[in-house]
Amino acid sequence: MKTPPFRADHVGSLLRPQSVKDARTKFYEEGSIPVEELRAAEDAAIRDAVKLQEEAGLPVVTDGEIRRSWWHYDFMGMLDGLDIVEQEGSGLAFTGVTTKAKAPVVSKRIDFPADHPMLEHFRFLAGTTKVMPKISIPGPSCCHYRLDAKNIHVKEYQEDITAYFADLTAAYKKAVHAFYDAGCRYLQMDDIFYAYLCDEKQRQMWKDRGTDPDWLIDEYAKMMRDSIADRPDDMTIGMHMCRGNFQSTWVAQGGYDPAAEAIFSTGIDVFFMEYDTDRAGGLEPLKLLPKGKQRVMPGFITTKSPELESIDELKKHFDEASKYCDLDQLGIAPQCGFSSTEEGNKVTMDDQKRKLELVVKTAEAIWGEV
C-alpha cells in the first residue's frame, strides 16, 4: 500500500446516488424504513464509490461522505456538548441559494466521545479497500465560525471564547488519537475558514461583532497546531481550504495572503487549496510554504462545473506555481469535494468520474507517479 503524501488525491465528498437519497428520505423524513435498510443502501453506495476511486487509479479512497447530510455538521453534532438544530433564519447564504436552516448549539462543555460514530464509518471504509483509506472531518475552527453567540449556553465560554477554543483543542486531540487507534493513518481536516477570513466582507462581519479577523486566524491556527502536535509519526494530516461549495455556488473570495503564514505554521502535512478561479487570488502565497516534506495540492480542477480542464492547461498552472515553491512539494487534487452537502454540485456521475481520472492523468504527466 502506498502511503501519503500522494501526487494525486481528492478532497473527499462524492455525489450521492439516487438509491441513498431515496433511502435517506424514507428514513429521516417519512420514517417508512428501518435504520438497517438505510445502512444497507449507504454501505452498497460506499463500496461502489471505493470501486470508482480505485478504477480511476487513485492511491487513496474516501467513503464519499455518503452517510452525511453536511460535510461538517454531522461530525459536529456527534460531539458531546454540541447539537445541530433547526433554527429559523439560520440557513447559510451562498451565491444565489441558501442552505437548510440548521445551526450549531453548544449546551455543555465540548468533548470528543469515545464512541463517535465516524470512527465506525472509517472502519467500514478501511474494510472495503486495499489502497489508503482517508476520512475527512471538519477542523476545529468549524465548531466556532458557524456558531452564533446566542447559541452558546456555557457560562465560561460566554465570558471567554478562548476557554471554548481550549476545550475544542482537547476534543480534537482525542479525535486524532481515536482515529489512529481505529486504524486511520491519513486524516483530513476541512478547515475552510482560513480562506473565508481572506474575504473583505467576511472580515468586516467579524469586525462588526467586535472580533479582529487576524486574531481569529491566529487562534484557529493555534487550535489546529495544538490539536495535531502529538500525533503518531506514521499518521499523515491533511487540511482542505475553500471559499464555499454548495450546489456549485460559493461564498467568499480573496487571495490567501492574510492567512498564508498562519496556514503554513500549523504543522499540517498536506494542504488542499482551492485554486480553480480568480476568486482564490494568485499563487504567490505558496512562497511561504516551508521547504521540506509538506505538500500543497493546488485545486486547479474544479468540481463546480462539468467542463474538463486540459492537461496542457494544468501543466501551465504548475509551471507558474513552481516559481513560488518546489515542484516536488506539489501534487494535484480537485478544488473541493463534489458534494459538500447531500444535494451535490451541478455535475453528473460521469463528470465526477472524468474529473477523478484527470487528477490521476495529470499527476502521471507531471511527476510520473500518483
Does any domain span residue 292?
yes
Does any domain span residue 247?
yes
Does any domain span residue 175?
yes
Q: 15: which residues sit within 8 A by CB, 6+ positions away? A: 64, 338, 339, 344, 345, 347, 348, 349, 352
Distance CA 321, CA 317 (A): 6
Provide the pLDDT for residue 270: 98
Average pLDDT, the chain: 95
Does any domain span residue 12?
no
Q: 240: which residues sit within 8 A by CB, 6+ positions away? A: 11, 12, 136, 188, 189, 190, 191, 192, 272, 336
Distance CA 299, CA 163 (A): 35
Does any domain span residue 91?
yes
Q: Tell me how far the alpha carbon of residue 159 is from its chain's centroid.
A: 30
Percent of the chain, pLDDT > 90?
91
Provide the pLDDT for residue 102: 85
Does any domain span residue 120?
yes
Among 93-102, 120-129, 247-256, 342-351, the least confident range: 93-102
In this prediction, residue 94 has a pLDDT band, given cuts at 50, 70 and 90, of very low
| Interval 138-176: pLDDT, tens | 999 999 999 999 999 999 999 999 999 999 999 999 999
Does any domain span residue 9?
no
Beta bridge partners of 206: none
Give yes or no for residue 98 having a pLDDT over 80.
Answer: no
Q: What residues make up the domain containing 129?
A: 18-367
Alpha-carbon distances of 208 from 22, 193, 203, 214, rounded to whole Å = 42, 17, 9, 14
CATH no. for residue 167? 3.20.20.210
Does any domain span residue 5?
no
In this prediction, residue 303 has a pLDDT band, given cuts at 50, 70 and 90, of very high
Q: Domain tally for the chain?
A: 1
| Interval 185-216: pLDDT, tens | 999 999 999 999 999 999 999 999 999 999 99
